[in-house]
Amino acid sequence: MAAGNTTYSTPLRVGVVGLGWAGQQHLKAYRNVDGVELVALAGMEEDLLAELAGEYGITHAVRTWEELLEVDGLDAVSIAVPTFLHAPIAVAALQRGLHVLSEKPIARNGDEGQQMVDAARAAGRVLDVAFNHRRRGDIQTLKGILERGDLGRPYYAKASWVRRSGIPKLGSWFTNKEMSGGGPLADIGVHVLDYALHLLGEPKVLSVSAVTYAELGPRGRGGNDRYTALSTSFAYEVEDFASAFIRLEGGATLVLEAGWASYRDEADLMDFSVFGTEGGADLRAVGASETPVAELRIFTEKDGSNADYSPPALPGRAHQGVIDDFISAVRGGPDTWRHHDGALALGRARIIDACYRSAAEHREVQFEEVLEK
């Protein structure tokens, strides 16, 4: 899919909504795909809009997403804007017959995510959500080990992404519940949930018991300009740390942690560890997403003796993989489109909903309660 000798008689015409870090990742990745033409870009920051439009040769540079959707001949659109805009943009785009790639989470909650999935199914178009961390090379290496059964049956796993001072600009849309839908659980925790369930083979979630804390953010602590967002002046309304105990079908459990700010080591940590009936594994990316390849160790035995090892892993495809897979799905035709309706991302959102409900009500929540709401 990436740049090569393949030629296409009709290019796919793509637009991107959003000028921030995520939107720029989409722009870079689309430029590397044969037969894709970037024709439209929308964003409110006029100077940056003009700069990016010039850099990528984009002919239609507009301020609003509504204007972008009016551009003639679009085939697909990427959504890389604050979470509260995901559903309205996606639904409008799908109703216009466009394929949609949205940044994570799919929406502020499962109900909005359901609207997006329903729109994708009604339109018969692709709806994908950008889960780039499952495409890490180290996670894919561990996925292969688990799928081969080398570790036996996984029965306990723990996964986290935690920061020392990583609240995305105190007072930005990230920390406004109405705009974001939640704090680190919804922001980076959904990545952790996604790659953990992916590694475990997509087991059914039965129940969750979660807690959330807002101990540092409301006091103006835990911020860092390295995590940029549109600066505003909202009060701090979300958690800065969350933990969830998730019961899975078959008796396995997953413990998940997501934190923007806590008194811990300075370097971010993204990890996954698992105990299986025949072995275990520990993946640690100190520096989190800035670490191309994590430390990966496999714990097992042979003939009654320890036979631990560290398998080699290559850097993953990140957003390039997300874009490559999205374009491949779009080019796959209707038989492929129906398998890319956003349902997996919707399931992640429902689990996050259950976690927030559990934390608010101080009890374990059965997953069916969220589905029946």
Tell me the CATH number at 42: 3.40.50.720
Q: What is the DSSP string of 228-239?
A: ----------S-
Question: Are residue 290 and residue 174 in the same domain, yes or no?
Answer: yes
**Would residue 372 count as lying in a domain?**
no
Q: Is residue 118 part of a domain?
A: yes
Alpha carbons 233 and 223: distance in angstroms, whole number: 14
Residue 5 falls inside a structural domain = no
Residues 231 and 112 reside in one and the same domain: no
Going by the DSSP 8-state scheme, the letter that residue 72 receives in this structure is T
- Does residue 220 belong to any structural domain of this protein? yes
**pLDDT value at residue 4:** 43
3-state secondary structure of 141: helix
Is 333 in the same domain as 303? no
CATH number of the domain residue 270 falls in:
3.30.360.10
Residue located via tokens 């899975």? 248
Buried b (16+ CB within 10 A) or exposed e, 341-368: bbebbbbbbbbbbbbbbbbeeeeebbbe
Question: 68 and 153 share a domain?
Answer: no
Q: Which residues of the chain have pLDDT under 50?
A: 1-5
Do 28 and 172 belong together in one domain? no
> Is 213 part of any domain?
yes
Q: Are residues 163 and 52 in the same domain?
A: no
Establish if 286 belongs to a structural domain: yes
Length of the chain: 373
- Residue 79 within any structural domain of the chain: yes
Distance CA 355, CA 367 (A): 9
CB 147 within 8 Å of CB 154: no
Residues 122 and 173 in one domain: no
Please give the pLDDT value at position 1.
Answer: 39
**Same-domain pairing of 148 and 229:** yes
Token output for 265: 């080591």
Q: What is the domain range of residue 146?
A: 137-315+360-366
Same domain as 123, residue 209: no
In a shared domain, residues 125 and 202? no
- Number of domains making up the chain: 2
Within 10 angstroms of residue 301's Cβ, the number of other Cβ atoms is 11
- 99/197 same-domain check: no
Residues 165 and 291 in one domain: yes
The DSSP 8-state label assigned to residue 356 in this structure reads H
Distance CA 254, CA 111 (A): 24
246's enclosing H/E stretch is strand 241-248
Residue 250: inside a domain: yes
Using omega within 30 degrees of 0 as the cis cutoff, is the peptide bond preceding 184 cis? no
DSSP H stretches of helix in the chain: 21-31, 46-56, 65-69, 86-95, 110-123, 137-147, 177-180, 184-187, 189-199, 318-331, 334-337, 343-361, 367-371
